[in-house]
Amino acid sequence: MPVQSKEAPKDKFSLRLLADTVAAYIAGAAVAPIISAVDRGLAENASGKQALLPSFVNSMKAMVARPVTFFTSPQFFWIWLVYGSTYAAANTCQTICDRRKQDVAIPKLMSTFMVNTTTCIAKDQAFAKMFGTKAAAAVPMQSYAIWLTRDILSMGVFFTLPPIAGKKIAEVTGNERSGYYVAQFFCPLVFQTFLTPVHLLGYDVYNHPNNTIAQRIQFLGKDYWKNVGMRCVRQAPPWSIGTIGNSELRKYFTNKFTA
C-alpha cells in the first residue's frame, strides 16, 4: 500500500501535464487561422506589398478554397506554434505550482514571457522574410529589440493585469469570475492603442532601415486606427477569447484524463 500511495500522485501529475498540453495545442489551433491572416496582412501592408484588408481577405479565401494547403502552410504553423506553446507554458506552470503549493503569478509571467517571446520573434522574422518586398535578409537587432519590448509589455497586459483589474470589476459586479472574464477580454484590446505602433515599428526598421525618425512617425501615423482595429481583431482570439477557451479545455481534459 505505501508504494501505491506514492505512485498514484505521480501518475496523476503526468496525466495533468498531458491534459495541459492537449488543451493548449487545441486552443492554439483554434485561434491560429484568423491570427495568421491578420499577421500576414500587417506584414504585407508594412512592406507595401499589399494593402491590409485585401491581404486579410485573400488569406480567408485561401483557407476556405484550399484548406489543406492553408493548414499545412508556414503561415498557419508559425502561429499555431506561438500560441499553442504559450498556452502550454501557462498550463504546465499552473500545474507544477499547484503541486508545489507555490504562488503562480511570477512563475507564470516569466514562463509565458520566455516562450511567447522566443517563438513570436522567430515568427516575426519568418513573416518579415516571407511577406516582405525585398529579398530575404537578416533581421536587424533593432527590430528584435523593438519586438522584445512589445512582448514584455504584452505579457504584463495579458497575464498580470487582468486578475488585478478583475478583482476591481468584481467589486462592482459582485462576481469574481465574471470580473476576471471582463478584464481578460478588454485589457488586451484597450492596450493595442500603444502596442500596435511598437509592433509595426519593428517591421518598418526591417523594411526601411534608413528611414529618419520623422519618416517613422509618419509611417506609424498612416492607417493608425485601421491598424489598431486590425490588431484588436488579431488579439481578441488569442488573449480575449483563447485564454478563456484554453482554461475551459484544460479543466475538461484534466477531468477526463484523471477521472
> Taking 80 as the threshold, does the pLDDT of residue 4 lie above it?
no
CA dihedral 49, 51, 53, 56 (to 10 degrees): 0
Cβ burial of 6 (10 Å; 0-12, 13-18, 19+) is exposed
Span 147-182, pLDDT tens digits: 888 888 887 788 778 878 988 999 888 888 889 888
Single-letter amino acid, residue 236: A
Tell me the torsion sign for CA atoms 136, 226, 223, 194. negative
Owner of C-alpha cell 500545474: 95
| pLDDT band at residue 6 under the 50/70/90 scheme | very low
Span 43-91, pLDDT tens digits: 888 778 888 888 889 999 999 999 999 999 999 999 999 999 999 999 9
How far the first Cα of the chain sits from its last, in Å, is 20
Distance CA 187, CA 239 (A): 9
Rounded to an integer, the average pLDDT of 174-195 is 89
Q: Which residues, at least 6 apart from 22, have a Cβ–Cβ distance to it below 8 Å? A: 249, 253
Distance CA 80, CA 258 (A): 26
**Residues present in the chain in total:** 259
**Residue 140 phi, psi (nearest 5):** -65, 155
> Taking 50 as the threshold, does the pLDDT of residue 207 lie above it?
yes
Q: Kindly report which listed range (10-14, 76-80, 94-98, 105-109) carries the lowest average pLDDT score.
A: 10-14
User: What percent of the chain is predicted at pLDDT more than 70?
Assistant: 94
Verdict on whether the full-model pTM lies above 0.85? no
Distance CA 134, CA 90 (A): 37
**Higher pLDDT, residue 3 or 38:** 38
> Taking 60 as the threshold, does the pLDDT of residue 102 lie above it?
yes
Distance CA 20, CA 110 (A): 18
